Amino acid sequence: MSGLQPIPSLTITDGPVSAGVGVRQNLLDLDRDGLERFFVEVLGEQKFRAHQVMKWIHHRYVTDFDQMTDLGKVLRAKLHAHAQVVVPNVVFDKPSADGTHKWLLAMGEDGRNAIETVYIPDKGRGTLCVSSQVGCGLNCTFCSTATQGFNRNLTTAEIIGQVWVAARHLGNVPHQRRRLTNVVMMGMGEPLMNFDSVVRAMSVMRDDLGYGLANKRVTLSTAGLAPMIDRLGVESDVSLAVSLHAPFDELRSELMPINRKYPIAVLMDACVNYALRKKGDSVTFEYTLMKGVNDQPEHARGLVKLLREFDRRVQMKDAAKVNLIPFNPFPGTRFQRPEDAAIRTFQKLLNEAGMIAPVRRTRGDDIDAACGQLKGQVMDRTRRQAEFRRGLERAGGSTAEQVDGHAA
């Protein structure tokens, strides 16, 4: 795009509509309801003014109030005094040979934390993979993000700011020239551990004054926080994807420690309840295939049994869909991608049982942007990052550059 404005490089914390004395409200932190309240309660303006500003921000990517030409001088002065529009600072962006594009975005004033966002174009659609945390609060053994530990949740502004940065770069014009057609909350972090900020950001994604995406084109992916799946079904209306990765509790608990708290039966109950609330919508179950771990015929048969029971309880054919994801290696991992023949055999067993089970094509692996490879830059508050680095050093020869997700 030509004529783009400089991007401010600060992100403020999520907060109430009424900002404190001397604190300007970042308008990216607010959905339509919040923005309307801010204009009425703080600025003493009518709601339609909030709609005008929302379109300037999300449709035209304007962050300078003086360039919002249909606002009067008095309103612009009020906005300068009480508000700001601050988006994440782009540390770098990197294109892949296959059209995938990755951004490293600084989070916070000091820039010590950074997250990754990935755009994946494919056959008339463009999907943005969005992060919800700096690092991840969970510790799935096969995920690169988990090796980085955890620092904090992202604010609404930092989540929707990822969409803003990508849409601006792509020249996306909601309702006219749509380059961004889908958003998946599948980046760094567990979205349901940052519930309020994520739900507010997804509201902006689906709002006609925001990015105008249909409900079914915004997908939240969770490792399986069962109570929060129930809450999501009540408070939002988006597509649900569940990181399953094993059909048996013992194996899933080994791969995903969250399963010890919410075992498969509890997780499936929550998924059934979600599907029953969203009549006619399927739930997608993500299944990362790892060589010799969960890619054997007995695992396929166990998966068929589990998801057939899900369909029966929801009383809908194909209520469960499976995404098969060949494991994407990263430095220091003990897991491997299965051979192509093993992947095809696994898929065939599911297809023969009447299940929809496409194999997700690996995208962006040349820039470490494939599923499970996102790292960012995390000032870890846990011991996981240090322990992972020590393990690499003991294994011999892995350097800090290999661990660093944005090394040259």
Break the chain into its structural domains and give their ranges.
Answer: 25-84, 89-398
Query: Distance (Å, rounded) from C-alpha 210 to C-alpha 199?
Result: 14
pLDDT exceeds cutoff 80 at 407: no
pLDDT exceeds cutoff 90 at 257: yes
Question: Looking at per-residue confidence, does 367 or 157 come out higher?
Answer: 157
CA neighbor of 87 nearest in space, from 114, 59, 63: 63
| Six token digits for residue 378 | 């995390």
What whole-number percentage of the chain has pLDDT above 70?
A: 83
How sure is the predictor about 69, in pLDDT bands with cuts at 50, 70 and 90? very high
Task: Give the CA radius of gyration of the chain.
Answer: 22
pLDDT exceeds cutoff 70 at 401: no
Active site residue 116: yes
Is residue 49 within 8 Å of residue 74, measured between CB atoms? Answer: no
Taking residues 26-47, report their average pLDDT.
Answer: 98
Instruction: Spell out the alpha helix ranges (H) of 290-399.
Output: 297-314, 340-352, 384-395
How sure is the predictor about 381, in pLDDT bands with cuts at 50, 70 and 90? low
pLDDT exceeds cutoff 90 at 151: no
Taking residues 26-53, report their average pLDDT.
Answer: 98
Neighbours of 330 (CB within 10 A): 22
Taking residues 282-294, report their average pLDDT.
Answer: 97
pLDDT exceeds cutoff 80 at 30: yes
Q: What is the mean pLDDT of the chain?
A: 87
pLDDT exceeds cutoff 90 at 55: yes
Q: Which residues contact 384 (CB under 8 A, 6 or more apart)?
A: 139, 146, 147, 148, 149, 150
Residue 178 confidence (pLDDT): 86
Residue 392 confidence (pLDDT): 60
Is residue 50 within 8 Å of residue 39, measured between CB atoms? Answer: yes
CA neighbor of 267 nearest in space, from 237, 246, 288: 246
pLDDT exceeds cutoff 70 at 388: no
Query: Distance (Å, rounded) from C-alpha 145 to C-alpha 387?
Result: 14
pLDDT exceeds cutoff 50 at 14: no
Measure the CA dihedral 185/187/188/192, to 10°.
10
Residue 87 confidence (pLDDT): 95
Choosing from 129, 136, 271, 371, the catalytic residue is 371
Query: Distance (Å, rounded) from C-alpha 338 to C-alpha 138?
Result: 25
Question: Looking at per-residue confidence, does 370 or 120 come out higher?
Answer: 120
Predicted TM-score (pTM) of the model is 0.87
Measure the CA dihedral 94/191/277/212, to 10°.
-40
CATH assignment of 89-398, among 3.20.20.70, 3.20.20.410, 3.40.640.10, 1.10.150.120: 3.20.20.70
Taking residues 250-265, report their average pLDDT.
Answer: 98
Question: Looking at per-residue confidence, does 388 or 404 come out higher?
Answer: 388
Q: Which residues contact 267 (CB under 8 A, 6 or more apart)?
A: 224, 226, 229, 242, 259
pLDDT digits (tens, 9 = 90+) for 340-360: 999 999 999 999 999 999 998
Q: Which fold is adopted by the domain 25-84? A: DNA polymerase; domain 1 (1.10.150)
Across 79-149, where does the E strand assignment appear?
83-84, 89-95, 101-107, 113-122, 125-129, 133-135
Question: Looking at per-residue confidence, does 58 or 401 come out higher?
Answer: 58
pLDDT exceeds cutoff 90 at 176: no
Is residue 264 within 8 Å of residue 281, measured between CB atoms? Answer: no
Poorest-pLDDT segment among 71-80, 99-108, 256-265: 99-108
Taking residues 317-332, report their average pLDDT.
Answer: 92
Residue 28 confidence (pLDDT): 98
Taking residues 10-25, report their average pLDDT.
Answer: 54
Helix (H/G/I), strand (E/B), else coil: 234: helix
What whole-number percentage of the chain has pLDDT above 90?
A: 69
End-to-end distance of the chain based on CA atoms, in angstroms? 27
pLDDT exceeds cutoff 70 at 47: yes
Taking residues 301-326, report their average pLDDT.
Answer: 97
pLDDT exceeds cutoff 90 at 237: yes
Residue 408 confidence (pLDDT): 25
Taking residues 139-157, report their average pLDDT.
Answer: 89
Choosing from 36, 45, 116, 158, the catalytic residue is 116
Residue 20 confidence (pLDDT): 52
Poorest-pLDDT segment among 138-142, 210-214, 226-230, 288-292: 138-142
